[in-house]
Structure 1
Amino acid sequence: MEGSVRKKGSRWYYSFELPSIDGKRKRIERCGGKTKKEALEALNEAMYKYANGFVEPKKLTYDAYVTDWLEDYIKENRKINTYERYKSIYEHKIKPYIWQYLLKDLKPILIEKLLSAEKKKGLSNTTLEGIYGVINNSLNRAVRLQIINDNICKFIEKPKRNKFISNTLSIDEFNLLLSSLDPNEYADYAFKLCLIVTMELGLRRGEVAGLEWSNIDFASNIVNITNNLIYTNTSVEIGTPKTIESERSISISNELLDLLKSHKKIQNLNKLEYGENYIKNKFNNREYDFIFTWKSGQYIHPNYYTLKFRRLVEKSGLNKKVRFHDLRHSNATLLLQEGIDFKIIQTRLGHSDISTTLNIYSHVTNEMQKSATEKLSNLLFPSKINIKK
């Protein structure tokens, strides 16, 4: 592949001929700059790109590109809930603004106007960061595929996520919720056990819903987290936990193991009662022996945990805005208050990065800092002696 440069008017242009396809030859000519040196540099860069598979997106719209990106890349390589979230963000928050633009014509100002318009609707910075993230990730992929030369998102100020402060339950508040459940009703009994498991182990909703009996090592007091039962807006599916680090082993107390052993006996009695009508839960051509099921053996829908918890909070009279997921935050907060190391908590929660743990529970850390200062002060000034000149 050879090229040349020439001056036309006040500008320098470069040109080169592409390899012939089916006997047809094509010559590329572009403006290279104000000087011959700039044109030669632009020529070398352009020939390198074409030699290494760069495709100039002359007629590819952003909508067409993102549709392929979502269906052929995200859906195949990410968790199904990630695909659903990305798709929803694109359809409702991005597509209405820039779907019709050619990929090569996207400019930073278009993305800034998009984010500004959504912010005026009252969206939080966290949501805006999610919108920015989808656009940025899609364009990063386009750069790697050499469909475009650069990602315009690097010229845009990224929205800063709102600082997250988790709502948590004290032990007294947690016990209040438990006391509001009727142990003689199977649904309440099973949910009570579910709450205790979640509170002690700090599990996500999908992780507790996907727990199997084979995940419990009764001899070693260990629970292995390997499943994630989720609702994808269209169906209930089972997969692996959120990240590689989320597949973890957690120590479990003897007291909770005893409760699970008793539950296993109750479940076995249910199997005898229902006989051939006892439901077998199959996903991905495999049968799952879930710990938490209805009396009939049917798995419990992930959304049930959220709805049941909300109703339970209202029923108990607890004047606090908490979610099922806040049991996980309560678990971590209680461990921190008991002086458990952050690294241990990170491992138990399955966070891929300790900074995630530190950021979420920074408010707890501040209280611990005050306590540490007070304890150190008591050591340094045991009698609180005033120093006089």
Structure 2
Amino acid sequence: MQGSVRKKGSKWYYSFEVSEVDGKRKRIERSGGNTKKEALEALNDAMYKYNNGYVEPKKLTFDEYITDWLENFIKENRKINTYERYKELYKNNIKPHLGNILLKDLKAIHIENALQSEKKKKLKNDKNLSNSTLQAIYGVINSSLNRAVRLQVINDNMCKFVERPKRDKFTANTLTIEEFNLLLNKLDKDSYGDYMFHLALLTVLELGLRRGELAGLEWDDIDFENNVIKIKNNLIYTNNNVLLGTPKTEESKRSIYISNDLLERLKKHKIVQSTNKLKYGNLYEENMFNDEKKNFIFTWESGKYVHPNYFTLKFSRLIKDLNINKKVRFHDIRHTNATLLLQQGIDFKVIQSRLGHSDISTTLNIYSHVSTDMQKSATEKLSSLITYY
């Protein structure tokens, strides 16, 4: 393929021929700049792009591109809750600012202005959008444009010229053992719902599970002989549906050693569940997910699975009833688990493995706070090695 440049008026133009599908030749001519040198550089760049499959986006809007990206790439290759989250962020926080801009005309200033506008947005509680949400918005734009570059729809990702919003520093909220015991004592174990939730609290405190991992536990996941439980399911609520998927990351698929005490409670629970099956007979519900029957550990008396949101709502009501003046969620029992392990001197790497974090920096960042007692212990151990004169 050869090209040429020529001057027309005050501008320099470049042109080159390409083959059409039917074998015919077509000459492409574009403005190359104000000098012959600029035109030659533009010519070389254009021919390189053409030879490597580059497609000029022409009148493709950002909305048209990202809608296709969401439906045909994210939906097909990511977890359904990731797709729903991205779709929500695009609809509410990105499309109003960038949707109508031609993809080829998208500049860093457009992305910067979109983030600034969202940063100033007031929520129902009269608070601004959090930095974590702003970072998520940036992440959706950045990921979509990275894909566009790989597909050679655009030549560069404008996000690299925009400062990434800083995530809010996260401090894990936790319960003390005394507060946790208050929760357990508040439950009436003669009521099946309270009995089941009591067992759920103990399971999460010992194993540090996410609520979807807890709700998705099956009896086949427990190796009673070797005291090991496998975490391989994630029961999630998204887009008004309860779906069974896999845990958050590959590292979240894990095996955790389980204590004899919890194992015995689960064995007794299996007997309770079997009794309920006999009691309900043909009315005992089967849980079908992904065209398979699932034998969940945590079910209602009727056999129906426990909705993941139930754990959150039940926990919130308990906290309120007990007047525990802390902003804690059901998920914070997982943080309590990690903090207790840390206070017992357990290595961060072990905690990372138990929690299923893909990167130890996540574990380190979340649990970087160290209690006064731990600081005191560290100081006393160090001072015992030093001779003071």
* Greater than 4 Å deviation, 4+ residue runs: 365-370
- In structure 2, relative to structure 1, the CA distance for the partners of 1:42 and 1:283 (3 Å cut) is same
Shift of residue 24, structure 1, vs aligned partner: 5.4
Q: 2:153 & 2:175 partners in 1: Cα distance?
A: 50
Shift of residue 23, structure 1, vs aligned partner: 5.7
Which ranges in structure 2 are unaligned for 5 or more consecutive residues?
122-127
The answer to whether the 8 Å contact 1:306/1:324 transfers is: yes
Map of 1:105 onto structure 2: 105
Aligned: 1:357 with 2:373: no
Question: What secondary structure does 1:249 align onto?
Answer: strand
- In structure 2, relative to structure 1, the CA distance for the partners of 1:283 and 1:82 (3 Å cut) is same
Q: 1:180 & 1:269 partners in 2: Cα distance?
A: 25
Map of 2:353 onto structure 1: 347
Q: 1:23 & 1:375 partners in 2: Cα distance?
A: 81
Map of 1:301 onto structure 2: 307
Question: What secondary structure does 2:19 align onto?
Answer: strand
1:166-245 matches, cutoff 5 A: 166-245=172-251
Question: What secondary structure does 1:321 align onto?
Answer: coil
The answer to whether the 8 Å contact 1:180/1:315 transfers is: no
TM-score (norm 2): 0.95
Q: 2:372 & 2:364 partners in 1: Cα distance?
A: 11
Shift of residue 36, structure 1, vs aligned partner: 3.4
State the number of aligned residues: 383
1:160-171 matches, cutoff 5 A: 160-171=166-177
Cα deviations across residues 141-167 of structure 1 (Å, max 9, x unaligned)?
A: 111110000000000011000100010
Q: 1:364 & 1:38 partners in 2: Cα distance?
A: 59
Cα deviations across residues 49-95 of structure 1 (Å, max 9, x unaligned)?
A: 11221110001111111111001000000000000000000000011
- More moved, 41-50 vs 263-272: 41-50
Which ranges in structure 1 are unaligned for 5 or more consecutive residues?
none
Q: 2:111 & 2:372 partners in 1: Cα distance?
A: 37
- In structure 2, relative to structure 1, the CA distance for the partners of 1:365 and 1:56 (3 Å cut) is farther
Question: What secondary structure does 1:380 align onto?
Answer: coil
Aligned: 1:379 with 2:385: yes
Cα deviations across residues 318-358 of structure 1 (Å, max 9, x unaligned)?
A: 12110000011111111011000000000000001101111
Q: 1:336 & 1:13 partners in 2: Cα distance?
A: 67
Question: What secondary structure does 2:385 align onto?
Answer: helix
Shift of residue 46, structure 1, vs aligned partner: 1.4
Question: What secondary structure does 1:127 align onto?
Answer: helix
The code of the aligned residue for 2:81 comes to N
Q: 1:306 & 1:91 partners in 2: Cα distance?
A: 27
Map of 2:125 onto structure 1: none
The code of the aligned residue for 1:199 comes to L
The code of the aligned residue for 1:134 comes to V
The code of the aligned residue for 1:17 comes to E
Cα deviations across residues 98-136 of structure 1 (Å, max 9, x unaligned)?
A: 111111111111111111111112111111001000000
The code of the aligned residue for 2:295 comes to D
Map of 1:86 onto structure 2: 86
- More moved, 290-299 vs 318-327: 318-327
Aligned: 1:67 with 2:83: no
The answer to whether the 8 Å contact 1:228/1:240 transfers is: yes
Q: 2:211 & 2:14 partners in 1: Cα distance?
A: 59
Aligned: 1:22 with 2:22: yes
Map of 1:338 onto structure 2: 344
Shift of residue 314, structure 1, vs aligned partner: 1.0
Map of 1:119 onto structure 2: 119
The code of the aligned residue for 1:345 comes to I
- In structure 2, relative to structure 1, the CA distance for the partners of 1:84 and 1:262 (3 Å cut) is same
RMSD: 1.6
Shift of residue 2, structure 1, vs aligned partner: 1.8
1:257-336 matches, cutoff 5 A: 257-336=263-342
Q: 1:17 & 1:368 partners in 2: Cα distance?
A: 73
Q: 1:117 & 1:371 partners in 2: Cα distance?
A: 48
Shift of residue 45, structure 1, vs aligned partner: 2.2
Shift of residue 208, structure 1, vs aligned partner: 0.2
